[in-house]
Amino acid sequence: MRRRLFISLGAAGMCSVLAGCGTDEQEGFNLRDVPSGPIVLGFSQVGSESGWREANTASIKKAAERNRITLKFDNAEGDQKKQIAAIQSYIAAKVNVIAFSPVVETGWDDVLRQARDAGIPVVLTDRLIETLDESLYVSSIGAEFASEGNLAALYLENDYEGTSGHVNVVELLGTRGSSPTKLRTEGFRETASRHGKLRVMDSETGNWTVAGGEAAMKKLLRRVKTIDAVFAQNDDMGLGAIKALQAAGKKPGTDVRIVTVDATRAGLTALAAGKLNYVVECSPEIGEQLMAVVVDLFFGGQVQKRVESEKAVFDSDSAADALPDRTY
């Protein structure tokens, strides 16, 4: 079974350079030049800070095994220096492809130039980088973070349709300097500013964790007199906000409405129970998409610069329907 799927993906990689898999020999793929040997992927994960991230790692490891790809895996544990060292070790090992989920947006140009000079293509997963030279990476795979922020604001705004006055919103942010934090914030505030119904009163960093979200929410409760709603940039921080609100004698989902991003099993469970109001999906299961890109690159194929992951918005009813089949 594994071998059959590997061959299927390999054929897809070859197909992308075959002029529609046709018979034009001048534009086709020279089968005598097909690379041999195992495909080796060096992957540096940003950390293991949340249930979403653990599911993302599991998806990548499972897909690599299923597709017979040798995976050299490293966990950066939120440390950019450690992640750069991992990438340099992959370059020294002469892997076929390097992929990583960057800890922060900036500071990657030097090490990615080293990869390019060594002839090793780089793929970004989940997160983006800030660079003036986009040739330093060949593809990025993941969600449209600004769109997730847009959707969170849109659904929250619609929830208050027909009510008078402004809605006081606080934000629980992820790691500062990361692309999800930056773009989800921009997307949420852009949509919130269109009609002026939602007013962002304050924000606090929760670093993607339940404990961080709880601590951040407690700080915001002390600083902001009236909080109508919370935008938590991931489920775990939203779950932390639930704990802080309950400790303060407030009923989450009713007294204070909460919208989050991710759609993990824990998040959807809280949503189905009425403790959250909406959850915007950001699927961590991008392993197969990554392996398809890796195989295409190995066989010399062309790949898309941007590959989007799945996305949906859940309310309590759709969350209950989705839970039985949720794998993360």
156 CB contacts (<8 Å, ≥6 apart)?
A: 167, 169, 198, 229, 231, 257, 259, 277, 278
For residue 191 the two structure tokens come to: 């949509």
| 108: helix, strand or coil | coil
Torsion angle defined by CA atoms of residues 53, 54, 59 and 64, in that order, rounded to the nearest 10 degrees:
100
Q: CA 264, 222, 175 angle in degrees (round to 5)?
A: 40
Q: Give start and end residues of each alpha helix (H) in 100-230.
A: 109-117, 145-159, 179-195, 210-223
Which among 115, 96, 94 is positioned nearest to 38, based on CA atoms?
Answer: 96
Q: H/E element holding 239?
A: helix 235-247
Cβ neighbourhood burial of 177 (10 Å; 0-12, 13-18, 19+)? middle
- Structural domains in the chain plus CATH codes: 2-141+285-308 (3.40.50.2300), 145-282 (3.40.50.2300)
Return the amino acid letter for 159.
Answer: D
Q: What is the mean pLDDT of each run of 10 residues along the chain (328 residues)?
A: 27 33 32 66 94 93 96 97 98 98 96 97 96 97 95 95 94 94 97 94 97 98 98 98 98 98 97 98 94 95 92 94 92
Number of H helices, E strands in the chain: 11, 12
Q: Which residues are bridge partners to 75 per DSSP?
A: 45
Question: What is the enclosing helix (H) or strand (E) of 262?
Answer: strand 257-262
- DSSP assignment of 37-94 equals S-EEEEEEE----SHHHHHHHHHHHHHHHHTTEEEEEEE-TT-HHHHHHHHHHHHHHT
Which SS3 state, helix, strand or coil, does residue 174 take?
coil
At residue 280's C-alpha, the angle toward residues 195 and 190, to 5°, is 30
- Residue 37: per-residue pLDDT: 75
Q: What is the pTM assigned to this prediction?
A: 0.79
Closest to 156 measured CA to CA, from 253, 263, 274: 253
Contact by Cβ (8 Å): 118, 152: no
Q: How far is CA 106 from the centre of its chain?
A: 17
pLDDT at 35: 63
The total of other beta-carbon atoms located within 10 Å of residue 305's CB is 10
